[in-house]
Amino acid sequence: MTDDKQPVKKMSIIVSRGSLDGIYPALIMANGARMEGIEASLFFTFFGLNALANKTLDSLKVSTVGNSALNMAMPMLGLPMTMPFPTWMGAIPGVSAFATHLMNKEMEKLDIPPVREFLELISDSGGKIFACKLAMDMFKLKKEDLMDRVDGVLTVGDFYNESAGAGTHILFT
Amino acid sequence: MKKNIAGTEIDVNEEGYLTDMSQWNEQIAAAIAVEEGIGALGDGHMKVVRYLREQQAKGAALTIRSMGKSGVVTTKELYDLFPGGPLKKSSKIAGIPKPVGCI
């Protein structure tokens, strides 16, 4: 280890996915940064906006179709990790909802809050929450359609300006 | 390892967290707070510190979420009281182990 280790001062995290399993890692990383005294900004783009839109954010699902990393152990079915989750099974109505229910239950046990509460927690802790302007235009969303803790709607250029400074790390999820 | 805090020899780990919470007293808390850059401890700080010690004694796992819901302090207040690491610094000052969770 060297003595000139530069500390991480700020995490700018881009969230581009809209499934429950696509969004949580970014929220956990942002909250974890704030807990360590590191600044945090979240920039939601493309399907990541699902996490901010009032209509979708309370009912995000685990993706059980086309999710090749999903295995029978992950939604806590108690089966081995080596057993893949068959795509045909994921397509059956209700399976995604059931997998989501199981995952939410496990997360609650670990004191991981639901998405809305998590965003409020990050906002209360001084983290910033931004929506991508281009994606907003594309999905015909207005600021009023988003949850109340959104700090602003930014262009990509605004986002880079917002991330400026030595010690900032930009992370794409 | 041993460390002299507020004139007393205290058992701490390599990060400076007390390894025996019973060795703690308010003078030690005040000394750690100064070392951590928190400064003088007010009523707000002490409410959090006492709550942390109670929870630790009960064996409860502490998270930033549970603190915000405790009714003792809001998330915002906790960050204002212990800038630069709300749960880590308050735990150190409270003489309890470093929180191990990610939340």
Predicted local confidence at residue B80, as pLDDT: 95
Average pLDDT over residues B28-42: 94
Which residue of chain B has the CA closest to A120? B75
- Checking if the pLDDT of A4 tops 90, the result is no
pLDDT at A171: 92
In chain B, the residue whose alpha carbon lies closest to the alpha carbon of A114 is B65
Q: How confident is the model at residue B35 (pLDDT cuts 50, 70, 90)?
A: very high
Chain B partners within 8 Å of A36 (Cβ): 85, 88
Task: Please list the alpha-helical segments (H only) found in chain A.
Answer: 20-35, 87-90, 95-109, 115-124, 133-138, 156-162
> In chain B, what residues touch A34 (CB-CB under 8 Å)?
79
Lowest mean pLDDT among A52-61, A80-89, B21-30: A80-89
Q: Which of B35, B67, B34, B75 is nearest to B50 (CA)?
A: B67
Q: Which of the residues of B are catalytic?
A: 102
Q: How confident is the model at residue A157 (pLDDT cuts 50, 70, 90)?
A: very high
Lowest-pLDDT range of A159-163, B2-6, B75-79? B2-6
**What pLDDT, on a 0 to 100 scale, did the predictor assign at position A103?**
86
Contact present, A151 and A128 (Cβ < 8 Å): yes
Reference B78, options A28, A125, A37; nearest CA is: A125
Please provide residue B19's backbone torsions phi and psi, each rounded to the nearest 5 degrees. -95, -10
Length of chain A: 173
> What's the whole-number average pLDDT of chain B?
93
Query: What pLDDT shows up at residue B102?
Result: 83
Two tokens, residue A89: 């099974």
Per-residue pLDDT for A74 more than 80?
A: no
- Mean pLDDT value across residues A138-150: 95
Residues A132-141 have pLDDT tens digits of: 999 999 999 9
pLDDT, residue A2, reads 54
Task: For residues B62-90, give the mean pLDDT.
Answer: 93
Per-residue b or e along A47-78, where b marks 16 or more CB atoms closer than 10 Å to that residue's CB? bbbbbbbeebbeebbbbbeebeebbbebbeee
Q: Do B83 and A37 touch (CB under 8 A)?
A: yes
Give me the domains of chain A, ranges plus CATH numbers. Answer: 10-172 (3.40.1260.10)
pLDDT value at residue B101: 81
CA neighbor of A39 nearest in space, from A7, A3, A4, A15:
A7
Q: Which of A31, A36, A126 sits opposite B103 (nearest CB)?
A: A31
